[in-house]
Each structure stands twice: as structure tokens, then as C-alpha cells.
């Protein structure tokens, strides 16, 4: 049987733009993985791979106009949004190059023998080494930042791991163009182009996770797809780490005092966050707890006014559009659910934003309304109206893990008065990032960033954004009583590479 063609599709019209490739066969997946494995040695030199990352960033920057134009044609996300996302991706590559140069990620620890310790300590030298070939599964909603040159790829290459990327069907043409930029950058530093492999097709993704030379995987996508790959990674004869970002409701709690102090500001901010990117952000606030009556009503009115004034938009593909319309309709039919602004069809190829309201009491116990506690991808959120603090707390106690959790506090609560500290403590077990008086959309690329959370937000405790994302692709190894002449340069006493390390209990910079 001939391999199925891979088409680039315009979501604004639903029409095919061009045939980009064909779906990869098992043999082609095997070839891509073996080519990546063959490139491992070329990544061993930290100076070379830091230079490679910087050249990749420069190449993406140089091709900005063409790449953004292609991305917009395939995703309808708009050139302004996509230009910002590409700039973020370029910055991330350069940030990882700096991390590689610094070398602290190697976590070098040297302990000389101590016969007086109980028990005696031998000569121990520890650092971290790359795992091997990493499988990267691209996301639909971030064609740059979580795709071929995104955080998983950048951090894996920085760790010294080649990658094979399974492209997302929503932007195959862009995937090919970005992969070509990375391969040219690699070749410029004597690194085989196979260091960044690219395969297309659903079955190719399955073959990739099963390949014996794949040592770890990174995924951003749905709970259903991510869990299937997670289970496949665990079921291998040799299980491998699977770092998956699967789904998140990103709850927001608005206190009564905050609503009384700035109802209109919170309502407008929520509208902007939930409709940003046509509601296609993994950190979109999908459940908002708002007090019943009084200032809570004013907040909901402000939200309604702002959402009603927001234009319809095009989702990434027609399958997502159909799922959004069906998901909203199913939720709206539940008892006691109202739609102050009805989300749904905005045109033949677009959707209009909106939100639903429900008494929070309906969410405190298991039942049909649990559907409202599941993520609905697109420009919609659920506003749960709570009667008192205990009712809000009961809803929060039923939520699964999330990428983010947000609390909107009054100025006095934010200063430590009232329940401010208590609420922060209550939200901490729910998410990897807890926000105060802000909105979760927008994930800064910074050393302290954490983009992850308890399951099902992610399948591990790691982050996919920020400098510590590199840790996912490394493992520690200790040499005991190894003669100095046999040790890698990173572990020699005289520190010829000038690495940050802990030497006999002292932190050396």
C-alpha cells in the first residue's frame, strides 16, 4: 500500500494548500532514529553544541518572514502572535546555549576519601550524562515554541541528546522548513544533519515511542493521546522516561473582597486571558470561582461585556472546531447551566467566544456536572458561583492536577491579611505555577520558570519551559575510586573546564 500523503491545510478555508510529504513507514522511522543515534558523538563537545544552538537561533531569525508566513497559513494564529512566538523560540535556543556554556547543569560533585566518616567515604565523583535519542511530539497550538525547534528539542540538544520529531499534522510545511534550518545549522558545525530527525504520521508516532534506540520522549497534547504514548513508553521491554503535558483546567479563585475592590478589572482581565489565541492556550483559565451576588454579579457583567465584544476566530483545524462546538453544547445542556454569552459557531470556519455559569454547589459532588471540570479547548470558560468559602474550597478539593492555579485577592489580602496566605497554601498542591492577581496565559522563558504540574497536567514532576527543562534528558553517574588519569575532564581535581561544582562540600563557581 502506498504511503498516505501529508497535506498542508488552510484552517481559514479548510482547503489543502500543498502536499508536504508522505507518512513515514516503520523503516523510515527506524532510519531516522538510527541517524540520530549516529549523531550523538558529534554533540559531545559542549562548545560545539552551544555554537550549534546559537546558529540555529540565528537561522530561524534570518528566515523569520518566510516561517511566520507559512505558520499563519497553516494555523490562522496571526502574524503578530506568531512573530512573538518565534522570537520566544529563538531566545530559548540562545538561553540554552548559555546554560551549556556555563556547565552548572552537569551538577558536578567531587568528594575526596574520608576514612574518619561513618561509614568511611571513598573517592566519589558525580555528574550527569545525556540519555540518548529523544522523541519529541509536536503540539498543535504552538507551531514554534512547542514544535520542531521548541523547548523539548532545544533542551534535549543542549543536554547532548539528538532528537527525532514527530510533526503535528496541523503544520507539516512549517515543520519541514524549521527542521531544514536546524539541519543547516548542525552541518555548519560538523554535526550530521540526522541530529534532528522529522517524521510524519500517526503510526510513525507509535513506531517512534517503541524504537529501542529512543531513550526518552517529550509530548505536548491531549490527555487521551499523551496517556496512550505514556503507557506505551512504560510497556516497552526497557521502559523510558515520558515527559508529557496532557491537559489543564487552570482554576481561578476570586475572593469576595477582590471582587468588591476591582470587579470590572478582573472581569476584563479574565475575558482577555480566556480568549487569547482563540482560547487555544494550554494555560487558559477554564474554571473560575466567583462569589454569588453583589460584586460577583458586577464581575460577571464585566466579563460578559468584554467577551461579547471579542471577535470570532478560527481554530487550528476543523476537527477542533467540531469538538469545541459539540463540547460547549453538551455542557450548556446540563441543568442549572446558563450562557450569559453563548459560545459556538462564528461562521463557516470560525467560532465565537463565550462562557457558562453554574452554581458551585453542582460541582462539589460527583455527578453529570463533572463534565464542567474537564478542559474544553477553545474560547470558553466556566464561571462557578460559590455561596461561601467552604463551597469554593469543596470545588477546589475535587480538581485534578493543573499547570496553573490563580487567586485574585484584594489589596489587604495580598498584604497578608485575612485568608491570603491560607488560599495560597490551598492552591499549591493543585498546580506547578501559582499566580496571585495575574492571569496564567503567557509563560515566560526564565531560569525560575516551571511549566508542569500534578497529573494529568503532566506525567512527571519536570518542566518543559525554563532552564531546568534540560534535566529531563540527563542521568547522574558516579565514579568511585577511579584513577585521575581515567576520569572525564569534568571530574578532574584541577577542573580544566572551569565548571561550577561542589568540591569536598564547598560550592565553587
User: What is the C-alpha separation between 155 and 116, in angstroms, rounded?
Assistant: 41
CA Rg value for the chain: 25
Q: Which DSSP state fits 133?
A: E
Q: Report which of 390, 470, 401, 457 is spatially closest to residue 430, judged by C-alpha positions.
A: 401
| Most distant pair of Cα atoms in the chain: their distance | 78
Establish how many alpha carbons lie within 13 A of residue 107's alpha carbon, considering only the half-sphere containing its beta carbon. 14
The torsion angle over the Cα atoms of residues 490, 471, 170 and 70, rounded to 10 degrees, is -50
- What are the two backbone dihedrals, phi and then psi, of residue 192, each rounded to the nearest 5 degrees? -55, 140
DSSP H or E run through 484: none
Of 85, 176, 256, 282, the catalytic one is 282
Of 37, 74, 245, 490, the catalytic one is 245
Name every residue whose Cβ is closer than 8 Å to that of residue 117 and which is 6 or more positions away in sequence. Answer: none
**Quick one: cell of 139?**
503540539
Residue 258 DSSP SS3: helix
DSSP H or E run through 181: helix 172-187
Sign of CA dihedral 450, 262, 251, 139: negative
Q: Which residues, in sequence order, are bridge partners of residue 130? A: 474
Q: Which residues, in sequence order, are bridge partners of residue 501? A: 108, 508
User: What is the C-alpha separation between 313 and 105, in angstroms, rounded?
Assistant: 42
**Quick one: cell of 231?**
503507557
Q: Does 456 sit behind a cis peptide bond, omega within 30 degrees of 0 on the bond before it?
A: yes
Q: Report which of 449, 450, 456, 453 is spatially closest to residue 427, judged by C-alpha positions.
A: 453
56 touches 90 (CB < 8 A): no
Residue 245 catalytic?
A: yes
**Quick one: cell of 149?**
525547534
**Which residues belong to the active site?**
245, 282
Amino acid at each position: 500500500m502506498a504511503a498516505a500523503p501529508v497535506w498542508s491545510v488552510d484552517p481559514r478555508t479548510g482547503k489543502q494548500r500543498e502536499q508536504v510529504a508522505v507518512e513515514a513507514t516503520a523503516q523510515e522511522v527506524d532510519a531516522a532514529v538510527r541517524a540520530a543515534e549516529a549523531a550523538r558523538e558529534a554533540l559531545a563537545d559542549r562548545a560545539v553544541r552551544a555554537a550549534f544552538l546559537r546558529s540555529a537561533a540565528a537561522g530561524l531569525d534570518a528566515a523569520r518572514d518566510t516561517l511566520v508566513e507559512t505558520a499563519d497559513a497553516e494555523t490562522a494564529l496571526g502574524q503578530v502572535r506568531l512573530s512573538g512566538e518565534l522570537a520566544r523560540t529563538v531566545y530559548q535556543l540562545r538561553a540554552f546555549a548559555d546554560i551549556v556554556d556555563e556547565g552548572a547543569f552537569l551538577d558536578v560533585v567531587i568528594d575526596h576519601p574520608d576514612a574518619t566518616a561513618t561509614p568511611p567515604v571513598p573517592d566519589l565523583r558525580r555528574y550527569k550524562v545525556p540519555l540518548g535519542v529523544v522523541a519529541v511530539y509536536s503540539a498543535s497550538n504552538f507551531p514554534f515554541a512547542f514544535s520542531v525547534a521548541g523547548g523539548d528539542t532545544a533542551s534535549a540538544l543542549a543536554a547532548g541528546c539528538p532528537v527525532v520529531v514527530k510533526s503535528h499534522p496541523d503544520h507539516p510545511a512549517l515543520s519541514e522548513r524549521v527542521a531544514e534550518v536546524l539541519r543547516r545549522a548542525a552541518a555548519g558545525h560538523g554535526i550530521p544533519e540526522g541530529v534532528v530527525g522529522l517524521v510524519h504520521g500517526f503510526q510513525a508516532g507509535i513506531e517512534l515511542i517503541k524504537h529501542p534506540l529512543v531513550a526518552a520522549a517529550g509530548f505536548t497534547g491531549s490527555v487521551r493521546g499523551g496517556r496512550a504514548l505514556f503507557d506505551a513508553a512504560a510497556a516497552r521491554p526497557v521502559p523510558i522516561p515520558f515527559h508529557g503535558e496532557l491537559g489543564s483546567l487552570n482554576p481561578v479563585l476570586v475572593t469576595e473582597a477582590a471582587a468588591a475592590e476591582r470587579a470590572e478589572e478582573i472581569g476584563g482581565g479574565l475575558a482577555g486571558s480566556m480568549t487569547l489565541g482563540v482560547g487555544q492556550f494550554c494555560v487558559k483559565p477554564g474554571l473560575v470561582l466567583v462569589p454569588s451576588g453583589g460584586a460577583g454579579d458586577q464581575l460577571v457583567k464585566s466579563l460578559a461585556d468584554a467577551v461579547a465584544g471579542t471577535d470570532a476566530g478560527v481554530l487550528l483545524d476543523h476537527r477542533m472546531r467540531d469538538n469545541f462546538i459539540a463540547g460547549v453544547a453538551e455542557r450548556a445542556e446540563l441543568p442549572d447551566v446558563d450562557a450569559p454569552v453563548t459560545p459556538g459557531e462564528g461562521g463557516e470556519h470560525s467560532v465565537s467566544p463565550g462562557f457558562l455559569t453554574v452554581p458551585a454547589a453542582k460541582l462539589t459532588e460527583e455527578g453529570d456536572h463533572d463534565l464542567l471540570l474537564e478542559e474544553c479547548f477553545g474560547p470558553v470558560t466556566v464561571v462557578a458561583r460559590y455561596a461561601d468559602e467552604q463551597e469554593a474550597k469543596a470545588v477546589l478539593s475535587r480538581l485534578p492536577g493543573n499547570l496553573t492555579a490563580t487567586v485574585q485577592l484584594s489589596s489587604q489580602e495580598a498584604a497578608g491579611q485575612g485568608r491570603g496566605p491560607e488560599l495560597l497554601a490551598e492552591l499549591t498542591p493543585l498546580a506547578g505555577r501559582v499566580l496571585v492577581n495575574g492571569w496564567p496565559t503567557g509563560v515566560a522563558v526564565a531560569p525560575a520558570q516551571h511549566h508542569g504540574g500534578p497529573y494529568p497536567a503532566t506525567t512527571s514532576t519536570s518542566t518543559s519551559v525554563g532552564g531546568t527543562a534540560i534535566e529531563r534528558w540527563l542521568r547522574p553517574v558516579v565514579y568511585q575510586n577511579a584513577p585521575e588519569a581515567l576520569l572525564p575532564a569534568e571530574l578532574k581535581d584541577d577542573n580544566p573546564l572551569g565548571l561550577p561544582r561542589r568540591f569536598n562540600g564547598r560550592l565553587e563557581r
